[in-house]
Amino acid sequence: MIDGFLIPKETAVLLVPIATIILGLVIGWFGQRSGFCSIGGIRDYLLFRQTRLLKGYVALIISAFAFYLIFSLLVPAAIPSFLWCLQDGQLLTAIGGAPAVSVAGVIVLMIIGGIFVGLIGTLLGGCPLRQLVMTSEGNLKSLVFVVGMLAGAVIFTALVSPWIIEVFKAIGL
């Protein structure tokens, strides 16, 4: 234990690519076998009252909560501010929100972003994980979607994000 961490920073940074590629391999395998899809789960429930995929997404939230809780007891330094909403007497503060944007601004972004994420995901047949898995299954439309996602990430970081901060500053969010 160094500074309360299981692995010191110098080693941890070296493990980032290895750990995440292993995580990805496991999730990719699961995703292919189960057809896992977050947006598909909610869609199937709203359309057909089918819960097969929805159970997966609910299990993800519960499992994340349970294991963050367990690890926050075992390695408190690595799970700081667990139960985020109970920190500092502020019910609404966002994890990893841009420091230039207020909490109200983050909520506005959540609502606008969420509606379009749900809408686009439904019209084009799946959440981003499903698109990755369908790409691996040979679906060329999903491949184009994934390439679009990568382009969208660069466009967002370089152009959209600074623009949002400007606009929010101007309207006081």
- Give residues 61-80 in contact with another protein (rule: CB under 8 A): 61-68, 70-71, 74-75, 77-80
Cβ of residue 171: shortest distance to another protein, in angstroms? 16
Select from 88, 89, 99, 150 the one that contacts another protein (CB under 8 A): 150
* Residue 167 is a binding residue for another protein (CB under 8 A): no
Please tell me whether residue 128 binds another protein under the rule CB under 8 A: yes
Per CB under 8 A, 100 contacts another protein = no
Q: In the range 22-51, which residues lie near another protein by CB under 8 A? A: 22-36, 38-39, 41-43, 46-47
Q: How far is CA 79 from CA 62, 130, 133, in A?
A: 16, 29, 30
Quickly count: other Cβ atoms within 10 Å of residue 80's Cβ: 10
How many residues belong to the chain? 173
Report the C-alpha gap between 32 and 53 in whole angstroms: 13
What is the rounded CA–CA span in Å between residue 40 and residue 46? Answer: 10
